[in-house]
Chains A and B, each alone.
Chain A
């Protein structure tokens, strides 16, 4: 658990758009340990998605370095799983074929793995269903199974439960933790929701905007399963909220200067 699998060193990303520039990330550094569950939290526009896309290899226009198991990330690949906010399933494929993707279900080892994953995300009986027949939560579970089939070294999740209702959301958090406890896949999970961030993480990374950078890192040492109503949970919540308030103060100051 101590060895780091992902090393993000001084990563900056600047978007240039008709002469104006936006610094989405400014010298962000973070080491992620193998099997660790990291949640990234921060206000809209602070560069969470940008950072995730860089780790995924979808965005390579960066300064700095990102190493996955010591190797620089140059392009997307199955070693970096990605879950988008929307499930993004292929509507013409059934659940099992969506999970298999470009791999053939006729190969017995693939078929077995897909069946296993369908069980893991609790979708038995829906193997032959089309995406239009699934609820949002079910579709997102298919997307998770699709990513897991490729045995990623790290799973990147960009507000994966943001579009779900509160009950489904809680359920999905439990499903994800169950998967994590079983597979020990390294997770980097972006969210807007402080409770969600604490409920899942080994460490909560707080980002601040303009320019996007790490404001603070809060380790969460509570045992699983966590109770959102417990006092230790609430203490952490206040701690993180305080970090955000510091961010607001800073913004207010700079606002006064202008």
Chain B
């Protein structure tokens, strides 16, 4: 039976792929098809989970059923508590990302362009990169205390490196043959930067942006779990202290959903900005 399902879905998706270039509607149809197919298993799991919970096979103290989690979500949302926590978490992640990410972008650009600066800074940065930033977060908290600064530093530290490394690489890997074209066309120096090097490095910079955002979000989770009086991580901690597992579930699901949304946003941005890119497949 399993093999049967496999042979059924395969030729369908193959056919869809073959036509994909020609017809946009086919692409959507196929995308919709794979979306439905992809949701089958989770839906099945949730159904079993719910049934098991309703029949009392699993203790709600350990694993609340999906409906209970949904109810908790609605209650928390209704009091405004959840919105406030989410707002604070988002704000922390955003501030940390802005600091770390923009510093990473800036140093990536500078070191990419200047051999002197590169020689001065890069070895040190590569050394720091080897230190797992989440492992030193207790130290950061010890130094800076439990207030906002320490959280933002933890997040910024994580956001820095992906943008730094990818921006730097993007600039250093610009095709020499295109540089030669800019010479032959006598581009002024400034335009070599703005019209050639930056656009050529853009795919890498956007990749760095995407990774930086993901790491920022991860840093936020860790920072809030280690200690905070607000935010989604705080909600999870309360769930742990008071023995309300559905709080933990609501928190974890929110972390996951927002993380995915942010990632999808950057992906959409990539699709828009990199539609010229031959190797970019979305």
Q: What is the interface of chain A, defined by CB distance below 8 A to chain B?
A: 56, 58, 76-78, 80-82, 84, 86, 88, 90-93, 101-102, 130-132, 146, 150
Complex interface: chain B residues within 8 A of A58 (CB): 180, 183-184
Q: List 7 A-B contacts (CB under 8 A).
A: A56-B184, A84-B177, A88-B181, A91-B276, A92-B200, A102-B187, A132-B277
Complex interface: chain A residues within 8 A of B188 (CB): 102
B185 touches A78 (CB 8 A): yes
A197 to B181, CA, bound (A): 25
Complex interface: chain A residues within 8 A of B275 (CB): 130
Closest-CB distance, A115 to chain B (whole angstroms): 19
Closest-CB distance, B196 to chain A (whole angstroms): 7
Instruction: Give the residue name and chain of the B residue nearest to A78 (CB).
Output: B186
Instruction: Give the residue name and chain of the A residue nearest to B183 (CB).
Output: A76
A102 touches B195 (CB 8 A): yes
Task: State which size class the interface on B falls in.
Answer: 20 to 34
Closest-CB distance, B59 to chain A (whole angstroms): 58
B185 touches A150 (CB 8 A): yes
B202 at the interface (CB under 8 A from A): yes
Closest-CB distance, A29 to chain B (whole angstroms): 24
Return the CB mask of B185-208 against A: 1 if under 8 Å, else 0: 111100100011001101000000
A210 to B167, CA, bound (A): 44
Known A91-B276, A92-B276, A102-B195: A86·B187 in contact at CB below 8 Å:
no
Closest-CB distance, A24 to chain B (whole angstroms): 18
Complex interface: chain A residues within 8 A of B191 (CB): 102
A77 to B183, CA, bound (A): 7
A6 to B202, CA, bound (A): 41
* Apart from the given pairs A76-B186, A82-B184, A102-B185, 4 other A-B contacts in the complex at a CB distance below 8 Å: A78-B186, A90-B199, A102-B187, A102-B191
Complex interface: chain A residues within 8 A of B242 (CB): none
Known A84-B177, A86-B177: A101·B185 in contact at CB below 8 Å:
yes
Instruction: Give the residue name and chain of the B residue nearest to A91 (CB).
Output: B276
A57 to B186, CA, bound (A): 11
Instruction: Give the residue name and chain of the B residue nearest to A90 (CB).
Output: B178
A81 to B183, CA, bound (A): 11
Report which residue of A90, A92, A130 has the largest number of chain B beta carbons within 10 angstroms of its beta carbon. Answer: A92
B278 at the interface (CB under 8 A from A): yes
Closest-CB distance, B215 to chain A (whole angstroms): 27
